[in-house]
Amino acid sequence: MSLLSRIIGLLQVDSTVGDLAGNAQRIEHLAKQASKNGAQLAVGTELSVCGYPPRDLLLQPDFITTSFATAKSLNVEIPVLVGTPIPAEQERNLPANGVVRAGTLNASPNGDKTNRVVAKKQLLPSYDVFDETRYFSPTNRSGICRSIGGIELGVTICEDAWQAAGLTPSTYGQDPIASLAEWGRQGVALDATVNLSASPYHADKVSSRIKVCRTAAQILQHPFLLANQVGGNDDLLFDGCSLVAWPDGQVVVAPAWQEGVLLVDLDQPSNCRWLAMDSSDALCVGTDEIKFLGSSLEGHEESSAILEDITDAVITGLTDYCRKSGITRIVLGLSGGIDSAVAACVACAAVGPSNVLGIAMPSRFSSQHSLDDAQYTAEALGMEFKIEAIDDMHSTLESKIGGVLTAGNPVALENIQSRLRGIIVMAHANAENRMAIATGNKSELAQGYCTLYGDMAGGYTPLGDLYKMQVYALAEIFNHRAVQDGSTPPVNNSTLTKPPSAELAPDQKDEDSLPPYEVLDEILRLHIEQTKDADDIVDAGYSREMVVDVLTRLERNEHKRWQMSPAPRVTSKAFGQGWRRPLASKHDWRD
């Protein structure tokens, strides 16, 4: 072991998909901070130069070559391992998802040359939100980078490390961690292995990553360092939480939801430090504390800490969606109910209260307390607020097509109110260059208890992956944070305590159509996240009639979920598969 300290900077970058020049600048800036603070070398995240997931941009050959050239020409003072697509060597082959060694200085005479490709991804995930076999070709060679900043490194990319920990849904024909261990047994002495990741967030995902890194460090018998992307790209969120594990089980974890550098001292866990990104547009949500875990500590969060983390996740999602899409102003319908109150809290946190407009749109079925609660929330948050009653238009429409409406399915009558509100919200969005946000939650979307082209209208659904009871929990968190800041709690007590109602018919309550949300949420969670079928859920203690009703509504309303605008992914499983259009023609094969 060298007498000098051996310091590696893990660059936790908030890459924007497609913004090659901007991403390069962020990487260069973070590498400079790492260098100034004593790092011999730095490690970026998976595909950091083009942002993850680049999807169909990868079908443009220019995009591959331009990303690769950008990665190789980074202007950095220490060697930096950068994730980038690598052009295929042969025609009609797919590119690789790889790593380039950038940086012109410090290349040791015996070490790897600057600009060399040092690794290509071996395990390409194609499940859940991942689609990598569509775009990339895998390799079967281990990534190794010799004498970089005086350090011998194994180099892996995200999924490469997950099979060894048993955390992939199916097995691959090779194991990169086992291969590196075999190299070690053959006499190739490595000081550490790094992993460039773009590992998406869901609640408590960090405990899986800790397992991955501890397993690899234990197998390899040297420190295992994982640099993870941070920020949001559409509905994929990356929490950062870059981390390092030592063979004895010690772990250091960087903050979530912040761009910056985790300075890792390979020989002294307690010397690890966090350097926050200092540029004005840097993502900076949540706290900047790093976590030190002894070998016996699991890293699992308490549920209260998980809810705080989900709150930050939801804020990050909308913040980055707006920043990366050039959206500066938001409009939403503010009904006085819990969903729109919490959505307003998120919107104000994302773009600032002065850029958010809430519109209350009472019909004859709306109660005064709803209007009061909406106004209370708007005032507490300091956002713009207006009232546009829809009663006259509602009546005009009823008198016009009343015959059709009253003779048919009663839902038609309810939906016209929601759609009139959609028109008003969208008119403000179009006229004032705002993005409309939809305020729905996962529980109601799962049941189709929402209106296509009505309350589902909008470019983003901040609460769309939260169950209803989680929305209540977030309300409490926003209230608590406000109190700590000396502000007025934004969600009124009556909003928190009144029975949920769509207010689309006289004295309507959600519970007239749905099970109580405490129960509904649990049934949905068992089915969606734990893939339990009706029999399993009945065995868990729910009535068969209720379970069948819930699951039937879930099937029948697939088309609505398809039309949902992006929602930050915060639960461990989205409906079916996030990216695939459901088949309307899908029969129930169990009939």
What residues numbered 144-163 form the site for a copy of itself, per CB under 8 A?
Answer: none
Q: Considering only 62-70, 107-115, 213-221, 338-346, which stretch makes contact with a copy of itself by CB under 8 A?
A: 62-70
Told to judge if 46 belongs to the known catalytic residues of this protein, a careful annotator would answer yes
B/e letters for 295-329, b = 16+ CB within 10 Å, e = fewer, are eeeebeeeeeebbbbbbbbbbbbbbbbbbbeebeb
Q: Output 189 or 407, the one with its CB closest to a copy of itself.
A: 407
> Please, where are the H alpha helices in 132-190?
132-135, 176-185
Among 31, 43, 63, 471, binds a copy of itself (CB under 8 A): 63
> In angstroms, rounded to a whole number, what is the distance separating the alpha carbons of residues 559 and 341?
26
Shortest Cβ 7–a copy of itself spacing (Å): 33
Among residues 50, 120, 121, 308, the one annotated as catalytic is 121
Considering only residues 532 through 561, tell me which ones interact with a copy of itself, judged by CB under 8 A.
533, 559
Encoding tokens for residue 254?
Answer: 């960087």
Closest CA to 435 of 453, 460, 418, 454: 460
Nearer to a copy of itself, 302 or 392 (CB): 392
Considering only CA atoms, which of 101, 176, 157, 151 is closest in space to residue 267?
151
Characterize 400-418 residue by residue with b for buried, 16 or more Cβ atoms within 10 angstroms of its Cβ, and e for exposed. eeeeebeeeeeeebbbbbb
> In the set 415, 461, 495, 571, which binds a copy of itself (CB under 8 A)?
415
**Residue tagged active-site, from 50, 132, 145, 158:** 158
Q: State which of residues 46, 265, 320, 444 lies at the interface with a copy of itself (CB under 8 A).
A: 320
55 binds a copy of itself (CB under 8 A): yes
Q: How far is the CB of 156 from a copy of itself (least distance, A)?
A: 21
Q: Single out the segment in contact with a copy of itself by CB under 8 A; choices: 154-162, 178-186, 265-273, 413-421.
A: 413-421
Which residue matches tokens 């919200």? Answer: 425
Is 348 designated active site? no
Binding mask 481-520 vs a copy of itself (x if CB under 8 A, - otherwise)?
Answer: ----------------------------------------
Report d(CA 203, CA 53) in Å as an integer.
Answer: 20
Please select the residue that binds a copy of itself; options are 7, 8, 13, 20, rule is CB under 8 A. Answer: 20
Q: Please, which of residues 429-488 interact with a copy of itself by CB under 8 A?
A: 430-433, 452-453, 457, 459
Complete DSSP assignment for 3-58 = SS--EEEEEE----TT-HHHHHHHHHHHHHHHHHTT-SEEE--TTTTT-S--GGGG
Q: Which of residues 379-408 bind a copy of itself (CB under 8 A)?
A: 388, 392-393, 396-397, 400-401, 404-405, 407-408
DSSP string, 187-212: T---SEEEEEE-----TTHHHHHHHH
573 binds a copy of itself (CB under 8 A): no
Shortest distance, CB of residue 212 to a copy of itself, whole angstroms? 17
Annotated catalytic, 158?
yes
What is the token pair recorded at 537? 């859920």
Q: How far is the CB of 206 from a copy of itself (least distance, A)?
A: 23
As a residue count, the chain comes to 591
- Report H helices in 433-464: 442-447
Least CB distance to a copy of itself at residue 552 (A): 14
Cα Rg for the chain, rounded, in angstroms?
26
Rounded to 10 deg, the angle between the 338-351 and 468-484 helix axes is: 50
Q: Which of 262, 197, 257 is nearest to 232 (CA)?
A: 257
Of 248 and 432, nearer to a copy of itself (C-beta) is: 432
Which three-class secondary structure state does DSSP give residue 493? helix
364 scored as a contact of a copy of itself (CB under 8 A): no
Residue 253 in 3-state DSSP?
strand
The footprint of a copy of itself on this chain (CB under 8 A) covers a number of residues equal to 91
For position 89 contacting a copy of itself by CB under 8 A, the verdict is no
Instruction: Write each residue from 93 to 132 as x if it is in contact with a copy of itself (CB under 8 A), else as -, in one continuous string.
Output: xx-------------------------------xx---x-
By annotation, the residues acting in catalysis are: 46, 121, 158
